[in-house]
Structure 1
Amino acid sequence: MLAALDLASGQLFYRFRDRKRWQEFFGFLRQIRTRFPIGRLFVVCDNFSPHRKGKVADWCADHDVALVFTPTHASWLNWIESEFTALRYFTLDGSDYPSHTAQEAAIAGYIRWANKRAMPKQHFAVGSKIRRPDYLPSVA
């Protein structure tokens, strides 16, 4: 599954694909750009190699899409990860689906349910040390 989180609405956009190569990621980016055709589009990604493919980067530069990469071992900085946690809890934990189709249907049902109740994402890490510019982690 490829997914994107719209922080302004709180809704998830997703596509099921058999593979997660750069071609599928590229196609997904094009779909997201079509959904949001105006203005700069920021896409937060991990450091998975298909996200860094040259053809993807070239297309992003030509279509005002900025790929923003989370630091290694810091996926928690990407707000979509908390949405994936809820998705796993409600659809995958303790499940035994008879097929991928049944599993995809359960995931899609949960996302439709969650999108109906979605609220804009605001106030990330309120009161957290990470929001203070004077905070520096102690490194040995």
Structure 2
Amino acid sequence: MVCVDEMGPLATIPRGGRSWGKQPARRSDRYHKSQTIQLLGAFAPHTGQGMGLPHARKTGEAVLAFLQNSVLPRYSTQGKIYLIWDNFSAHKKALSLWQPKPSNVEFAWTPTNASWLNLIEPWFLVLEKTALHNTDLKTPSEIAEHLLDGIDYLNEHPKPYRWNKGI
């Protein structure tokens, strides 16, 4: 099972966080909202491992390229792949562009307005706290670098998800 989603838009804004200082420093009000980046991400809850690809926009072509070039090569040796994702239009477009569809991939859609059921969402929260808290990054490439470093750190210290609730 692999959970797939997008994180963003992530703007080049000063981000708060915890620090040891007695007086918190004032945040700068100088930033450009147009400088944003998206992170296409995949997370395997059974291993606690994730991957991500920074991208400028959320498009069906970008999602399809991420699935074909990053997700499938990593997980195709494990037999059947179950992709969990929401009803975002870029996902539907990627699925329509994917010809021929691999026989070892099954798709599961989260219900409308329930993307919080996708287990990549809490992983994105941990990634954001790990990579972006208490930063003042100036360019989208700096954000991308911090996110990729955060993914590397989280993969070095994986926390597999264990479902402990009954239905």
TM-score interval (norm. to shorter): 0.7 to 0.9
Provide the aligned length of Structure 1 versus Structure 2.
Answer: 125
Question: Is 1:19 matched with 2:19?
Answer: no
Where do 1:1-140 residues align within 5 Å? 1-31=39-69, 32-38=71-77, 39-53=79-93, 54-56=96-98, 58-60=99-101, 62-123=102-163, 126-127=164-165, 131-132=166-167
Q: CA deviation at 1:92?
A: 3.1
Instruction: Report which structure shows greater RCO (CA 8 Å, sep ≥6).
Output: 2
Deviations 1:30-83 (A, max 9, x none): 121111223111111111111112123x443x3421221111121221111001
Where does structure 1 differ by over 6 angstroms across 4 or more consecutive aligned residues? Answer: none
TM-score with structure 2 setting the length? 0.67
Q: CA deviation at 1:105?
A: 1.2
Q: CA deviation at 1:94?
A: 4.7
Runs of 5+ consecutive residues of structure 2 not aligned to the other structure: 1-38
Q: CA 1:89/1:119 → structure 2, altered by over 3 Å: closer, same or farther? A: closer
Runs of 5+ consecutive residues of structure 1 not aligned to the other structure: 133-140
Q: How many angstroms apart in 1 are the aligned matches of 2:126 and 2:59?
A: 25
RMSD: 1.7
TM-score with structure 1 setting the length? 0.79
Percentage of pairs with the same residue = 27
Give the letter for the 1:51 counterpart: H
Give the letter for the 1:41 counterpart: I
Higher share of residues assigned helix:
1
Q: How many angstroms apart in 1 are the aligned matches of 2:105 and 2:92?
A: 13
Higher share of residues assigned strand:
2
